[in-house]
Structure 1
Amino acid sequence: MTACVPVRFRLSGLLALLAGGLAGCVVGPDYQAPNLALPAHHAQAPQARPIRPGELADWWKRFGDPTLDSLIDQAIAANLDVATAKARIREARATLRQTAAGLAPEVNGTASSTHSRTSASATGFNISSNSYQSGFAVSWEIDLFGETRRGIEAADRGIEVAEENLRTTLLVLVGDVAQNYVEARGFLARADLARRSAELQRQTAALTRAKFDAGAASAVDVARATAIANSTAANVPTLETAFAASAHRIGVLLGREPAAVVGILRRGGIPSPRRNLPPGIPADVLLNRPDVRAAERSLAQATARIGRAEAALYPSVSLTGNLRTSGIRIGDLGNGSSLAWSYGPSVTIPVFNGGRLRAGVEIAEAQRDQSYATFHQAVLRALEDVENALVGLAQQRLRYQRLAVAARSNREAGRLARVLYQQGASSFLEVLDTERSLYDSEDSLLQSQVLIATRFIALGKALGGGPSQPIDTATPLVVDRETGPRLPR
């Protein structure tokens, strides 16, 4: 706690107190950023270097997909969660201006006009009189112990929290649009694979029926071939439903009707990242993750609120003044003989309040501790996100390589099995097994391709990348008109 000028209750002591207060006395702890012990490198990237400024900006453009870029731009411009976050920034800025106004004097002007009439029954005459008054009242509460200044500090930190929350909203939004985009394309690719595989299996069923008609196959073989073809085709409606859900989610993320982008998403394949993201070092999350920065700014805000609560324990001093003029005619208001004025200081000393003010300090301290724990937890979660994303992306790329080899082998096995079956040198069960294995391996390969893209998106989010272009936060979502005085409708 900062030591301040002791309170004296004589006029000379009060003046000394005012001088000390105007010099900038504050109470409560001054904020110091926490120093957390972080590992030197990520476990999955031991040789990585620190991320350079701007290196993560627009990370989704590493897919090289103009459609995805356009959808993300539209989402940033029109998403309703982003609009809410912008409004909270404007609210925080207005809160700062409102709090800072407490350092300035408050001046109010008054004016009145009174007309009276008295009836005298004895004389039968009526006596009329007019009275006019005007004046100014000034009040100024001296911020002796920094209550208002700590409030300004807290409000300023509140702006920074709101700005980081906007960046967090943008980070989540970009990730959601990109992930739903990749998943939608994946569902379409898998549906197309199911159609092609079902058609190939129907050809096998037709060949089996021809053999059955020729007495070279059994009715069981025909039934099995037909069942497999229909089972594969039955996956198409499920995949189309999943595609529609992802497309509808993107439409809502863009602030539009759900079906707005369905047609756009039906053109194109599964995007794949063309350039890797720099994994950086653990300390980068303190600089790049907006949710971590927001938690740290919230801690600074909570610290400032302790000082504001402590300032309430000390006396408060106000200066007040009044200037009033009156007359029986309006012209008399400028007459010096009708002027009246007063001024003087007033002191309010908290003597007994049942421990309410001290409890307020303890509440603020407990809230600061909560903010510290939230900040520390945000850092650990950010590190966890990065490690998980690095492991997931690396392992999924290895899985994709194995699945690609398996798919090529199954395609060759399927081709040979059909040729041998047509020549009567292979059994029907071998054909069914190879076709089923071929479809499963190619479907798994597509799913792995989707997972590589989504793991890449998860890494971009975990590292804290965002849009490079500045975001307009000053323009309100709703513009009111005709807000001045008017008759009610």
Structure 2
Amino acid sequence: MDDFLAMRITVQGLLMNLAIRRRNLVPAICLTPAFALALAGCMRSSDFRPPTLAAPVAAEQVRRAMVARSPALTEEALPSAWWQLFGDAALTNLEAEASASNLDLQAAAARVDESRAQLGLANASRQPQVAADASYMRAGISQHSPMAVVGAPTSASNTWALGLEASWELDLWGHLRHLSESADANLQASAFGMASVKVSVAGDVARTYLLLRGTQTQITITEENRQIAEHLVQLADSRLQNGVATRFDVASSRADVASIEARLSQLHQQRDALMNALALLLGRPPRELDAQLSSASLPSMPQHLPIGVPSELAHDRPDILQAEARLRAAVADIGAAKADFYPRISLTGNLGVQAFDRTDLGSWSSRQFAFGPILYLPIFQGGRLERNLELSEARHRLAGIAYQQTVLKAWHEVDDALNAYSTELKRHEQLQEALTQNQTALDVAQRGYQQGTADFTSVLVARRSLLASQGELVDCATASALSVVSLYRALGGGWSPELLGASTVERSRS
């Protein structure tokens, strides 16, 4: 920093000396660009060093253990269209439609276009600027003006002018270059942001679809149980008429039917809400997917789940790449803020013709031209440059913290998703055994009730236990499928670097 201040003082002292010695002003201006070029060689580009984080050693050990005991998990490359692992054509079609019509994705694409235009503006500032001008003016001066006193004519006259103007900032200390680098990094951040939205939308579509199929499966099971409950009502009525049952049996059986119908009403409401949620994700009005998403079973669990290797997580999660791009932009902003302390040199010139009569514009004597360098040196800005540098450095620290938070969050999400997947698989086995035993208990209770060796209460208890087991098993199957969705969402599945284009993906910079 001392060298930095010394260079500023050197340039300021030189220019003050030039201002004092006006006799040598023209030669000095000619030498100033050469001196500035030599000084510019001392400037260094801002280095980009992403923050380093301690590796999640304990989590990696647990991950390896899970992969070893789960035959479905492999370390093969992460698939971009991971939802196809479920083998569900309806889900695949919904994902394809969402990727084309989701409004969040369209907004993210518009933000990419916005960032691309900002990059174009930043790059345009580094190029020579050329403009044409033409003017006409009719003017006269007052007879009492000082110019008239010294003999200037007071009659009105015309002035015609045509010409070209050109300017080019030399950007010796990289101010414009750093602004361009910042805009380019922001463009990459916007592109990775669009990829993050794509991952999120793909996960939301799959999650909502699986919840819908789980709810529809619950409806099917509940309707089957309602039929059984209605059959028990008929059986209780028949036994009451024959004098071998009581009104308690009939009332209990009818109450059971009413409870099941109430449950069905709740499930139907959940089904309709999930269908509307899918329609919203696809950018459609409510109820447009009702016919398309008629009742169907829950997709089976994938038999093969490629999850990649931990070292690739930073390149497979677009939010991590987005945070890294924002960090690069913050570093470039610091470089631009530092370069703002130094003088700016621009080459300007104009060439044209000017005449009092329009017919004289083509005359050689009407020509005019001007050419020369313009040097701008900030001497006193009221602390604006220092505060701008402090602001850029603070934003750089914030970007570094955001990068660390994103990486740490990714590690946690992957670990939580793997744990949920392993837990739901174990839970499914236990619930399957509970369902088998409850089905056996219900069969025994129904035979006993028909033979008169058991009361109706035992039948109701056994049937309710079976219904609860069926519901829990469906919930577990749904949760198992959702754990796969969470896993691929945590791993960053659902996007492909090739979709972003070569101009927005430059992994070599990291």
Q: Same fold (TM over 0.5)?
A: yes
After TM superposition, give the deviation of residue 27 of structure 1 in Å: 5.4
Partner of 2:98: 75
After TM superposition, give the deviation of residue 332 of structure 1 in Å: 2.5
After TM superposition, give the deviation of residue 277 of structure 1 in Å: 2.3
The reply to whether residue 64 of structure 1 matches residue 87 of structure 2 is yes
Residue 56 of structure 2 contacts residue 411 of structure 2 at CA under 8 Å; is this kept in 1?
Answer: no
Partner of 1:287: 315
- Find the partner of 1:236 among 264, 267, 276: 264
How do 1:273-422 and structure 2 match up within 5 A? Answer: 273-422=301-450
Residue 216 of structure 2 contacts residue 296 of structure 2 at CA under 8 Å; is this kept in 1?
Answer: no
Q: Distance in 2 between matches of 1:208 and 1:24?
A: 98
The reply to whether residue 205 of structure 1 matches residue 223 of structure 2 is no
Change (3 A) 1:52 1:428: closer
Q: Distance in 2 between matches of 1:275 and 1:17?
A: 70
Deviation per CA, 1:215-262, whole angstroms, max 9, x where unpaired? 211111211111112112210111111111111011111111121212
Deviation per CA, 1:399-429, whole angstroms, max 9, x where unpaired? 1111111111211221221112101122211
Q: Distance in 2 between matches of 1:428 and 1:366?
A: 74
Q: Distance in 1 between matches of 2:329 and 2:156?
A: 62
Partner of 1:36: 53
Residue 389 of structure 1 contacts residue 462 of structure 1 at CA under 8 Å; is this kept in 2?
Answer: yes
Residue 58 of structure 1 contacts residue 465 of structure 1 at CA under 8 Å; is this kept in 2?
Answer: yes
Which secondary structure state, in structure 2, belongs to the residue aligned with residue 234 of structure 1? helix
After TM superposition, give the deviation of residue 472 of structure 1 in Å: 8.3
How do 1:154-193 and structure 2 match up within 5 A? Answer: 154-193=182-221
After TM superposition, give the deviation of residue 17 of structure 1 in Å: 3.1
Q: Distance in 2 between matches of 1:208 and 1:259?
A: 41
Residue 85 of structure 2 contacts residue 302 of structure 2 at CA under 8 Å; is this kept in 1?
Answer: yes
Q: Distance in 2 between matches of 1:50 and 1:210?
A: 59
Q: Distance in 2 between matches of 1:117 and 1:152?
A: 48
- Find the partner of 2:134 among 111, 115, 136: 111
Residue 38 of structure 1 contacts residue 282 of structure 1 at CA under 8 Å; is this kept in 2?
Answer: no
Q: Distance in 2 between matches of 1:448 and 1:77?
A: 32
Structure 2 unpaired stretches of 5+: 16-27, 68-72, 142-154, 502-510
Q: Distance in 1 between matches of 2:138 and 2:33?
A: 44
After TM superposition, give the deviation of residue 140 of structure 1 in Å: 2.0
Which secondary structure state, in structure 2, belongs to the residue aligned with residue 263 of structure 1? coil
Residue 309 of structure 1 contacts residue 360 of structure 1 at CA under 8 Å; is this kept in 2?
Answer: yes
Partner of 2:171: 143
- Find the partner of 1:19 among 22, 37, 45: 37
Deviation per CA, 1:67-125, whole angstroms, max 9, x where unpaired? 1000000000011110111111111111111001111122221112346799xxxxxxx
Residue 216 of structure 2 contacts residue 295 of structure 2 at CA under 8 Å; is this kept in 1?
Answer: no
- Find the partner of 1:225 among 249, 253, 259: 253
Which secondary structure state, in structure 2, belongs to the residue aligned with residue 45 of structure 1? helix
TM-score of the superposed pair, with normalisation by structure 1: 0.89
TM-score of the superposed pair, with normalisation by structure 2: 0.85
Residue 172 of structure 2 contacts residue 344 of structure 2 at CA under 8 Å; is this kept in 1?
Answer: yes
Q: Which stretch of the first structure deviates more once superposed, 277-286 or 419-428? A: 277-286
Partner of 2:283: 255
Q: Which amino acid aligns with 1:134?
A: L
Deviation per CA, 1:440-470, whole angstroms, max 9, x where unpaired? 1001111111111111100010011114596
Q: Distance in 2 between matches of 1:11 and 1:61?
A: 69
Residue 307 of structure 2 contacts residue 488 of structure 2 at CA under 8 Å; is this kept in 1?
Answer: no
Q: Distance in 1 between matches of 2:45 and 2:139?
A: 57
Q: Distance in 1 between matches of 2:434 and 2:126?
A: 74
Q: Distance in 2 between matches of 1:330 and 1:97?
A: 39
Partner of 2:64: 46
Q: Which amino acid aligns with 2:318?
A: P
Q: Which stretch of the first structure deviates more once superposed, 260-269 or 436-445? A: 260-269
Which secondary structure state, in structure 2, belongs to the residue aligned with residue 334 of structure 1? coil
**Count, aligned residues:** 465
Identity %: 32
Residue 191 of structure 2 contacts residue 500 of structure 2 at CA under 8 Å; is this kept in 1?
Answer: no
- Find the partner of 1:100 among 116, 123, 126: 123
RMSD: 2.6
Change (3 A) 1:392 1:273: same
Q: Distance in 1 between matches of 2:495 and 2:101?
A: 14
Q: Distance in 1 between matches of 2:348 and 2:75?
A: 57
Partner of 1:486: none
Q: Which amino acid aligns with 1:32?
A: R
Residue 106 of structure 1 contacts residue 139 of structure 1 at CA under 8 Å; is this kept in 2?
Answer: yes
The reply to whether residue 153 of structure 1 matches residue 154 of structure 2 is no
Runs of 4+ in 1 over 6 A off after TM superposition: 1-5
Residue 106 of structure 1 contacts residue 138 of structure 1 at CA under 8 Å; is this kept in 2?
Answer: yes
Structure 1 unpaired stretches of 5+: 119-126, 474-489
Q: Distance in 1 between matches of 2:494 and 2:41?
A: 40
Which secondary structure state, in structure 2, belongs to the residue aligned with residue 325 of structure 1? strand
Q: Distance in 2 between matches of 1:324 and 1:311?
A: 35
Deviation per CA, 1:381-406, whole angstroms, max 9, x where unpaired? 11111011001011111111111111
Change (3 A) 1:88 1:112: same
Which secondary structure state, in structure 1, belongs to the residue aligned with residue 302 of structure 2? coil
